[in-house]
């Protein structure tokens, strides 16, 4: 009975390890697709340069180091993954930053009230 339980748990663990590259690839592609199509009106656009292969290799390295250190490397692994994602996103702005701020202020006159209502958990209608 114990042998069957260990075999099932081991099989699930091996499936997770085997699917790690596919899951990393999917996460990288979803991140690229999301951040390459995000913009603020017609004024600013984000572009993502995340290398899918580099991200998959980073995730595999992090998984190996996490297993070797029995989980102690996991916080450092997460930071390195988020750093790679963060450094791959660039904001492209048409015009200057002051011009963008002015346009956004004109579009959102009652922004402070909306922000306070959101913080309080209220819905403003009207």
Claim to verify: residue 9 and residue 71 sit in the same structural domain: yes
Claim to verify: residue 10 and residue 63 sit in the same structural domain: yes
Claim to verify: residue 52 and residue 19 sit in the same structural domain: yes
Q: Looking at the predicted structure, is the pLDDT value of residue 120 above 90?
A: no
Claim to verify: residue 63 and residue 86 sit in the same structural domain: yes
What confidence score (pLDDT) does residue 126 get?
Answer: 47
Claim to verify: residue 61 and residue 116 sit in the same structural domain: no
Percent of the residues in the chain that have a pLDDT greater than 70, as a whole number: 79
* Token pair of 97 as six digits: 């930053």
Claim to verify: residue 102 and residue 54 sit in the same structural domain: no
Q: When comparing pLDDT for 50 and 123, which is higher? A: 50
Question: What domain count does the chain have?
Answer: 2
Note down the domain range covering 29: 2-94
Using only C-alpha atoms, what is the Rg of the chain?
22
Burial of 4 (0-12, 13-18, 19+ CB in 10 A): exposed
Q: When comparing pLDDT for 27 and 114, which is higher? A: 27
Contact 47, 54 (CB under 8 A): no
Q: When comparing pLDDT for 16 and 120, which is higher? A: 16
Claim to verify: residue 56 and residue 17 sit in the same structural domain: yes
**Mean pLDDT across 64-86:** 95
The overall average pLDDT reported for the chain is: 84
Residue 44, helix vs strand vs coil: strand
């Amino acid at each position: 009975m114990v042998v069957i339980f260990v075999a099932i748990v081991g099989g699930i663990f091996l499936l997770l390890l085997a699917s790690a590259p596919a899951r990393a690839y999917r996460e990288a592609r979803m991140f690229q697709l999301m951040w390459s199509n995000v913009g603020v009106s017609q004024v600013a656009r984000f572009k993502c340069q995340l290398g899918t292969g580099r991200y998959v290799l980073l995730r595999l390295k992090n998984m190996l180091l996490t297993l070797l250190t029995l989980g102690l490397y996991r916080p450092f692994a997460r930071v390195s993954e988020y750093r790679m994602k963060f450094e791959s996103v660039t904001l492209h702005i048409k015009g200057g930053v002051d011009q963008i701020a002015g346009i956004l202020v004109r579009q959102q006159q009652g922004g402070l009230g909306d922000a306070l209502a959101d913080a309080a958990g209220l819905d403003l209608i009207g």
